[in-house]
Amino acid sequence: MELIHNLVQAHSIGISAGLLLLAYIFIATEKIPKVTIALIGAALTVFLGLVSQNKVIDGTLNNHYFINFIDFNVIFLLVSMMIIVNIAARSGMFNWVANELLKLTKGHPIAILFTLGAFTAVTSAFLDNVTTVILIMPITFFIAKQLDINPIPFLITEIFASNIGGTATLIGDPPNIIIGSAAGLSFMDFLKELTGVIAVILVVVLIMLMFIFRKDLKTTAEKMSSIALIDNSKTITDFGLMLRSGLILFAVIVGFILHDITHIETGITAMMGASILLLFEKPSEILQDVEWNTIFFFIGLFIIIGGLEASGGIALMAKWILDVTNGSQQAASMLILWASGFISGVIDNIPYTATMTPMLVEIQNVMGRDYTIPLWWCLSLGACLGGNMTIIGAAANVIVSENAAAKGHPISFMGFLKYGVCVMITSLVISSVYIYFRFLH
């Protein structure tokens, strides 16, 4: 055992990097559930001594204790928001809002496409993307059936809109939660720096899609009137629950906005809101709906990356970025933005972001916060918007494609790719212009 320990210590960077690379490969192949991969990798990281299983050594707190590498602000924020959203969705409030917006379109398919895209994007800015598409898909299939048109243009639009909208806020997409926690960026920081450019990207992309799908979005006046006259009177199934959960969701978002004044972490604010709502529910029922696979995936991933960080591998990566860009802020920003976009289009953007954040922290330690600020926004924009490149680029993409196939409307990998590449490149070009004039000019 001592021989193994010495071997691991002598080659800790190579072994920890190898473990992370193997985890990436297995996650990408999707042969084994990614939560299983993450937990096996975490167990091996601790077992091999890449991170320590001892909290205290010789009476001193151990900085390499494996628990220290788990970002519990991210974990509590994710769990709490899942609880709040699951409870709120039970009231029918989100479906009610969607139906009211659809009635305003008078049933015109092109207007519906724009409305569904905008609704998905705005909702994804405050709820996680998977929850948003799960809420909107039944409405989409109903509309397509009523209009007797193919639902695929609507579904593809919703995928793109969910990933674009999720980029706009701290809580919209898991990569932003990771970035916000690591960089010390608040809810208001994200609103101030990203919401404007994301609004521009969303409008440009929706106009593109309206043009691309214009020939598929045709129906009769009679069928259009069936959408204009949707009966929305019974969509709210529990008015008391809607009022209660709506108020708590609003209060939690206000708490996020006031973070710079209160200095209460977002995870704690969300946990307080979730706890209050659970007073009126059966916790056993609500907690069943929490995506525990995602939570334990995060925990395992943090530990694996902690092994690379503890070994010095992350510092080495940071040094390489600074060397290859010759310390140029402009070059580093564009490298991170575009590399993040293409890499996140191929692999899950959560492990990618979780790997990159400690590297940017290391760069920040060397170059200072002012140098690193645009790099954080480049990582967020690249990782979140890059998810639109392929059908496996983000969790929401996979959920929609699986549901579409089950309903008899499969979305092929190559069929999606021709739209995805176009949308991603357009999004990154707009992001590049924004980053340059906002931070680098």
Q: Report the SS3 class of residue 60.
A: strand
CB 267 within 8 A of CB 74: yes
- CA gap 136, 220 in Å, rounded: 23
Instruction: Please give the pLDDT value at position 212.
Output: 95
Helices vs. strands in the chain: H and E counts, helices first: 22, 2
pLDDT tens digits, 19-64:
988 988 887 777 888 889 999 999 999 999 898 998 988 888 888 8
Instruction: Please give the pLDDT value at position 224.
Output: 84
Instruction: Please give the pLDDT value at position 6.
Output: 75
Instruction: Please give the pLDDT value at position 173.
Output: 87
How many Cα atoms occupy the beta-carbon half-sphere of 134 within 13 Å? 13
Residue 439, pLDDT above cutoff 90: yes
* Cα Rg of the chain (Å, integer): 22
pLDDT tens digits, 123-148:
999 887 888 888 888 889 888 888 88
Work out the pLDDT band at 269, boundaries 50, 70, 90: very high
H or E element at residue 364: helix 349-367
- The DSSP-derived string for 63-81 is TTBGGGGS-HHHHHHHHHH
- CA gap 125, 165 in Å, rounded: 5
Work out the pLDDT band at 84, boundaries 50, 70, 90: very high
What burial letters (b/e) apply to 263-281, b meaning 16+ CB within 10 Å? Answer: eebbbebbbebbebbbeeb
Q: List alpha helices for 32-151, DSSP H.
A: 34-47, 72-90, 93-104, 109-124, 129-147
**Which pTM value belongs to this model?**
0.85
